[in-house]
Amino acid sequence: MAQTGTALTRADSTAWSIACSREPVIRALATLPKLTPAAIAEACDELSLSRTRIFELVGRYRADPVTSSLLNRSRGVAKGFKRLAPDVDQVIADEIEQFHLSRPKPKLSQLVRRIKFSCLERELPPPSRKTIEARVVAIDRERLVAARDGRKAADDRYRPITGSFTADYPLQVVQMDHTPADIIVVDEHFRRPLGRPTLTLQIDVATRCIPGFYISLESPSNTSVGMAIRHAVLPKADWLQEREVEIDYPIYGIPDTLHLDNAKEFHSRALERGCQQHGIELNYRPIRTPHYGGHIERLIGTTIGEVHLLPGTTFSNIKEKGDYDAEGQACMTLRDFERWFAIQIGVYHGTIHSELGLPPLTAWTDALGIRPLPPRLPADTGAFLLDFLPFEMRKARREGIELFHLFYWHGALAPLIANSDRKVPVKYNPLNLSAVYVELPDGKYLTVPLRDHRRPPITKFEHDLALKTLRDRGRQSVDEQSLFSMIAEQRRIVVDALAKTKSARKTAQRIAYALHDGQPLTSSPPHPALPDIGPAGNDQPIVPFQIEERL
């Protein structure tokens, strides 16, 4: 039946018409108990075929009584027949098995050369490249990929998809992942290229809505995960107003389950504790089952595809990009891209989804009534992010709380000093170390600023770079003053290089964005409260680097 099916589907219309015209005549002959000369002669006249050909068709029809058995067959060697001598054939099989099906993946030309050498050593006639190539093409594809690329690659490509992740109502399951956005953004001051931002994106599996996202110049981390979760959970009205974006974005609420891959940032202690605090179940994809994250992967493909229409896009691959000058065409800042992306989400929410048959926002509205309970909001929306920030256990002493060689103090710490033998959880935001957050016995957080208020805000990556530089210079003991002096020196270097190097501009803009996004809870200036950067062409450097005067 496999051969019948192959002939049935591959026959062209002319060959099929000929077979159909033969079928009633040959069927009548095949039913006769004995083929008479008169019947054969009549069939020869009707089909214009020789007696030998009639006998052949009758024999084929009796063996397989279907029309496709009467198709004309090409002359030549039967499929699968091998002309090569058994010894040569064995050499090819051995070299393919031992050499070609291995890592690193040899090229076909290398395989051909190796087989020819093996044949010459055995005084056998070497086969042609075409013959060897035909043998390679005949190898089972899954076996070939498994041998040359690994079992996971073969499973991802060929394993049947027998399961997927589903949800019955909004916020039952939310998937999250990161991706580099296919666009080059520019700095706020010089309007020169910085690089590709990182997009952390979420999707509600039941309705395909996008609960929230986060865009930054930072690499994926537990902080970007927390920022994306906060954006997803909280109402968006104030966030949209600060960015002057007018779209309908009513998606909010604490999800029942976060469905994640096995990236390092999704296994942090901060994420685990924050989700436990708010009753969010963490569910990780089974290893080597990418189809379980298909919803977020398809959403990333959809949203990133829209980015390719923007100036400065890098496209998804070099073939699509061609000779397009992404850096030369780049003109959008990170904040511009954030606003554009928010508007694009509004477009996506209002467009009919191919799988749902209706817009995601309509699916969200219709399905809210199915939820067992209305969407949940955190009791303290202002402090919600703190539950997802990293923390360290520290003691409150008379000189304050020491973290990363920095000292923090607040008068409200005084009651904790009496119990200084006990450590308390101290949360910190790597985007801005100007304050830390001490978890009090009643579960609330106390914002504790730097003890020396003259100190400027700094980021964790600035701190780590300064600490490494001091260590490299032989400093065994590091104090707060030496750290801030080193950071001041590094910032002066960045300021001097702003107009000259892309890395300096990216560092400056990264610091500016990070300090803004990580502002302490006690101060919430309106967006985009970035430093005064002046118009393009102005040589005033981007600030927050006015640090020297306050040291």
pLDDT band at residue 540 using 50, 70 and 90 as cut-offs = very low
pLDDT band at 530 (very low <50, low <70, confident <90, very high): very low
Does any domain span residue 163?
no
pLDDT of residue 325: 58
Last residue of a domain, one of 22, 41, 70: 70
- Tell me: do 150 and 236 sit in the same domain: no
Query: Residue 489's pLDDT is what?
Result: 84
Residue 165 domain flag: no
Question: Which range, of 71-80, 265-274, 509-518, averages the lowest pLDDT?
Answer: 71-80
| Radius of gyration, CA atoms only, the chain | 35
**Do 343 and 428 fall within a single domain?**
no
Please state, rounded to an integer, the average pLDDT across all residues of the chain. Answer: 80
The secondary structure of residue 429, as a DSSP letter, is E
pLDDT (0 to 100) of residue 364:
93
- In this structure, are residues 124 and 88 in contact, taking their beta carbons and an 8 Å threshold? yes
Determine the pLDDT at residue 80. 55
Show which of 36, 70, 104 is a domain's final residue. 70
Clarify whether residues 409 and 273 are in a common domain.
Answer: no
Judge if 181 and 263 occupy the same domain: yes
Confidence band for 171, pLDDT divided at 50, 70 and 90: very high
Give the residue-averaged pLDDT of 35-53.
Answer: 90
What is the pLDDT, as a whole number, of residue 165? 64
Does 198 map to a domain? yes
User: Of residues 207 and 515, which shows the higher confidence score?
Assistant: 207
Contact present, 180 and 341 (Cβ < 8 Å) = no
330 and 265 co-located in one domain: yes
Q: How confident is the model over 128-145, as a mean pLDDT?
A: 88
User: What integer pLDDT is reported at residue 234 of this predicted model?
Assistant: 93
Residue 366 belongs to domain with CATH number: 3.30.420.10
- Confidence grade of residue 334 (pLDDT, cut at 50, 70, 90): confident
Among candidate residues 15, 44, 70, the one where a domain is terminated: 70
Lowest model confidence (mean pLDDT) among 67-76, 273-282, 528-537: 528-537
**Which one is predicted more confidently, 128 or 314?**
128
Of the given ranges (398-412, 451-465, 468-482, 494-508), which has the lowest mean pLDDT? 494-508
Q: What pLDDT, in 10s, does the model give residues 209-258?
A: 999 999 888 888 888 899 999 999 999 999 999 888 888 999 999 999 99
Assign 207 to helix, strand or coil.
Answer: coil
Which of these, 224, 220, 216, lies nearest to 264 by C-alpha position?
220
Structural domain including 521 reads: 460-550
Give CA–CA dist 380/385, Å, rounded.
10
Highest mean predicted confidence (pLDDT) among 244-258, 319-333, 452-466: 244-258
How far is it, in rounded angstroms, from Cα 507 to Cα 512?
9
The answer on pLDDT for 550 being more than 90 is no
Q: Which amino acid is at 412?
A: A
Q: How far does Cα 489 stand from its chain's mean position?
A: 37
pLDDT on residue 309: 59
Exposed/middle/buried for residue 246 (C-beta within 10 Å: 0-12, 13-18, 19+):
exposed
The band of 419, judged by pLDDT with boundaries at 50, 70 and 90, is low
Supply the pLDDT for residue 532.
38
- 432 and 518 Cβ atoms separated by less than 8 Å: yes
Least confident range from 150-154, 365-369, 458-462: namely: 150-154
Q: Are 270 and 283 in contact (CB under 8 A)?
A: no
Average pLDDT over residues 41-48: 90
Same domain, 343 and 255: yes
302-309 CB contacts, 8 Å cutoff, 24+ apart: 302/348, 303/199, 303/201, 303/341, 303/344, 303/348, 304/179, 304/181, 304/182, 304/199, 306/344, 307/181, 307/182, 307/183, 308/182
CA-based nearest residue to 509, from 187, 247, 234: 187
What is the side-by-side strand order in the sheet with 423-429? 391-395, 423-429, 432-439, 445-449
What number of other Cβ atoms are within 10 A of residue 437's Cβ? Answer: 23
Same domain for 473 and 343?
Answer: no
* pLDDT for the residue numbered 529: 40
537 in any annotated domain: yes
pLDDT reported for residue 287: 59
User: How many C-beta atoms lie closer than 10 Å to residue 39's C-beta?
Assistant: 15
Averaged pLDDT, 282-296: 64
pLDDT above 80 for 182? no
Q: What is the pLDDT of residue 439?
A: 86
| Domain at 95, CATH number | 1.10.10.60
How many residues are listed for the chain in this entry? Answer: 551
Q: Same structural domain for residues 319 and 195? A: yes
Helices and strands counted in the chain (H then E): 21, 13
Per-residue pLDDT band at 148 (split at 50, 70, 90) = confident
Q: How confident is the model at residue 305 (pLDDT cuts 50, 70, 90)?
A: low
Same domain, residue pair 545 and 398: no
CA 339 to chain centre: 22
**Per DSSP, which regions of 150-229 are E strands?**
174-180, 185-186, 193-195, 198-204, 213-216
Contact between residue 223 and residue 214 where contact means Cβ atoms under 8 Å apart: no
- Give the lowest-confidence range in 43-52, 72-81, 222-231: 72-81
Instruction: Tell me what pLDDT residue 212 has.
Output: 92
DSSP result, 212-268? -EEEESSPS-HHHHHHHHHHHHS-SHHHHHHTT-----------SEEEE---GGGG-
Percent of the chain exceeding pLDDT 70 equals 81
> In the prediction, which pLDDT does 186 show?
81
Domain count, the chain: 5
